[in-house]
Amino acid sequence: MNNENNKNGYIALYKDKKIEVYADTTYQAQQLALVEFQKNSRRKIKGYDISVFLCEKNGESVTHTVDF
């Protein structure tokens, strides 16, 4: 992922589709992903149907771990 205009990199998932978006916040990334996913779908996609994960912050990769 390339850092565009000092924004954070996110991966957005909807059903079996995955896209990369750059935004300042998770909400903004979700809204950008919603527009992209809606382009290729006939049904109305809701924002809460999209999962967004932070992958890049300040040009550095972000690792997610599971804590039990």
Q: Which residue in 57, 37, 58 sits closest to 47, CA to CA?
A: 37
Q: State the pTM of this model.
A: 0.82
SS3 9: strand
Q: Which helix (H) or strand (E) holds 3?
A: none
Share of residues in the chain with pLDDT > 70 (%): 94
Q: What's the confidence (pLDDT) of residue 52?
A: 96
pLDDT at 8 over 80: yes
pLDDT band at 30 (very low <50, low <70, confident <90, very high): very high
- Predicted pLDDT of residue 5: 72
